[in-house]
Chains A and B, each alone.
Chain A
Amino acid sequence: MTYALEVHNLLKTFGPVRALDGLSFAVPRGTIFGLLGPNGAGKSTTLKILTTLSRPSAGTAVVLGFDVVKRPLEVRRRIVSVIQETAVDLLLNVRDNLLTFARFHQVETPTARRRAGEVIDRFRLTAEVERKVQDLSGGFRRRVQVAKAFMVDTPVLFLDEFSTGMDPLLKREVMSMLREEAHRGRTIVLTTQILSEAEELCQDILIIDHGRQVARGDLNTLKLLSRGVYEVSMTFDAMPERIESELTALPTLRTRVENNTLELAFKAPEGQVLDVVTALARNRRVLRLEVNGASLEDVFLELTQQEEVSRDRH
């Protein structure tokens, strides 16, 4: 198997803090790879190293056969990076932002103009195309930034929290575009805090915390790691008054109460799930009931909480 990215024992320290602590992974070409983790887990640091923005303190990172420290220019010729912060030329208009970006990536002018037209259409930027980016809202600025990634054909695309500030319709469109790009053989590496995005998009997921691997695999493999976690959603005709005290007795991973709907995730043997649901529904009118296996969010919470407990013990 040929890999787009190969990372071995990556270490990054900032003074006494180890942002990355011996991280290793490889990403096959043409896949959508999700790098997940709580705040401060080391996701952005990993991306910064892979995009040559930052140097590792130890270990190696290779992008399409080129070491990020020894051959940074070769790496940069093969990647596009959408960083977490909004990154646009505020003093240029939307079209010039796209064309300038393409020029940096050596795209010929006629091709760049054609692509800019397509990207402007797909990102619904037609009305703003001649406006300076400094006159646009934050959401539109982010739109321009992400749109730039589709102006070029580099084999690897890095996206750090790409959907921040995007409306749901556009987010869906971008996700569909990312799937098309992966289908055409482009490797996509994304970090996100919105786990449903990763669940929908990623064929391969790495969960990290405190700079170390917590779990790795496709969605189904990860869900197996969290066997015995169930998600229950119950809508009552009126939210029961003492429901919160009843919930404290359950080994819940998370609970959410919104209007008359209760959502909870808990870990229990399969046979007890019905008992829990029955207990919660007793003498109450349930309008809707849904029981599911673990979602990626449940897996994520369980694994990162386990990591936290294990760290505390040490």
Chain B
Amino acid sequence: MTAIDAMLYREAKIRATNLIFIFWDVFYPLGYMLVFGVGVNSALGSPLLPEHVDYNAFFLASVLGMASFGIASNTSWSFFLDRDNGIFFEMLTYPLSRSAYMLGKVLFTLVVSLVQAIITVALASLMFHIRLAWGRIPLAFLVMVAGTAGWFFFYAIFALSTRRNDIFNTLTSILYFVLLFASNMFYPLEPLPTWLRRVALANPITWQIDCLRWGTIGLGRTDRVLLEAAGFCLFALASFWYAARCLERQE
């Protein structure tokens, strides 16, 4: 039994006995796929892209990206929950390093994001008959997991540097709006105005979703996807490094 096991056990207990978390992490993004995606697909009426990709297929990677982004945001909010419960500082005196505390938190989140990805892909295949690139699906799951970790570390920076819950919530709402809409999540980038396309190309969500589209429906050039994957890994590592520094400063 290690400290990380204990951390995993705690997170699992909290999530399993408070089902509202499961709703937000697993079912809320599915709602986007089942309602928003179906609605836009019907409204467009014809394939979205020249590669005969309809909106449901296009939107599958978006739902995965949105889930990974949302799960990470919810988990980082739990730093506030721990702080409000007073247990945050008590836990820093438990026999685990501060990095282990953060890794323990993210490990459970990764399990949740993997479960979410499996359900989403299964529903996409069974309900919408999306033609999946099955050989690449394990890589898509890997991107999902790595993406969740990266976004968690990114959000952890704000959760650990902000003392006030309301400021953090405002910040996450702004980030949610800006990062999701200034990306390829809801629409392809090509028809967008130049300025918006440039912002979207620099947005790590775009990189993650390109990797997810490549991994689920086989869309995109492999060399570009590899470059974006490397970029996202650097982003995740930098976020981890800075979040760990923020955690070390807590006293």
Query: A residues near B, CB below 8 A?
Result: 48, 51-55, 72-73, 76-77, 79-81, 83, 85-93, 96, 100, 103-106, 108, 132, 145
CB within 8 Å: A-B pair count: 82
Between A and B, 6 residue pairs with Cβ closer than 8 Å are: A81-B90, A85-B86, A91-B14, A92-B10, A96-B17, A145-B86
- Cβ-based interface call for B9 (8 A): yes
Cross-chain contact A103 with B93 (CB below 8 angstroms):
no
Which residues of A sit under 8 angstroms from B14, Cβ to Cβ? 89, 91-92
- Cβ-based interface call for B195 (8 A): no
- Cβ-based interface call for B139 (8 A): no
- Cβ-based interface call for B237 (8 A): no
Number of interface residues of B (CB under 8 A): 25
The B6-34 residues at the A interface (CB cut-off 8 A) are: 6-7, 9-10, 13-14, 17-18
Kindly identify which residue among A48, A77, A89, A103 contacts B87, using a CB–CB cutoff of 8 Å. A89
Q: How far apart are the CA atoms of A108 and B5 in the complex, in Å?
A: 13
A91-B17, A100-B9 given; A83·B94 CB < 8 A: no
Cross-chain contact B251 with A88 (CB below 8 angstroms):
no
Cross-chain contact A53 with B95 (CB below 8 angstroms):
no
Residue on B with the closest CB to A84?
A: B86
- Cβ-based interface call for B96 (8 A): yes
Smallest beta-carbon distance A241→chain B, Å: 49
Which residues of A sit under 8 angstroms from B3, Cβ to Cβ? 104
A85-B86, A100-B13 given; A52·B93 CB < 8 A: yes
Cross-chain contact B97 with A87 (CB below 8 angstroms):
no
Q: How far apart are the CA atoms of A89 and B10 in the complex, in Å?
A: 9
- Cβ-based interface call for B128 (8 A): no
Which residues of A sit under 8 angstroms from B93, Cβ to Cβ? 51-53, 76, 79-81, 83
Which residues of A sit under 8 angstroms from B95, Cβ to Cβ? 73, 76-77, 104-106
- Cβ-based interface call for B89 (8 A): yes
Smallest beta-carbon distance A188→chain B, Å: 15
Q: How far apart are the CA atoms of A55 and B18 in the complex, in Å?
A: 36
Q: How far apart are the CA atoms of A79 and B85 in the complex, in Å?
A: 21
- Cβ-based interface call for B92 (8 A): yes
- Cβ-based interface call for B1 (8 A): yes
Cross-chain contact B86 with A83 (CB below 8 angstroms):
yes
Q: How far apart are the CA atoms of A50 and B95 in the complex, in Å?
A: 14
Smallest beta-carbon distance B214→chain A, Å: 38
Cross-chain contact A104 with B96 (CB below 8 angstroms):
yes
Cross-chain contact B86 with A104 (CB below 8 angstroms):
no
Given contacts A55-B251, A73-B95, 16 further A-B contacts (CB under 8 A): A48-B251, A53-B92, A53-B251, A73-B97, A76-B95, A80-B93, A83-B86, A86-B85, A89-B14, A91-B14, A93-B17, A96-B13, A100-B13, A104-B3, A104-B95, A106-B95
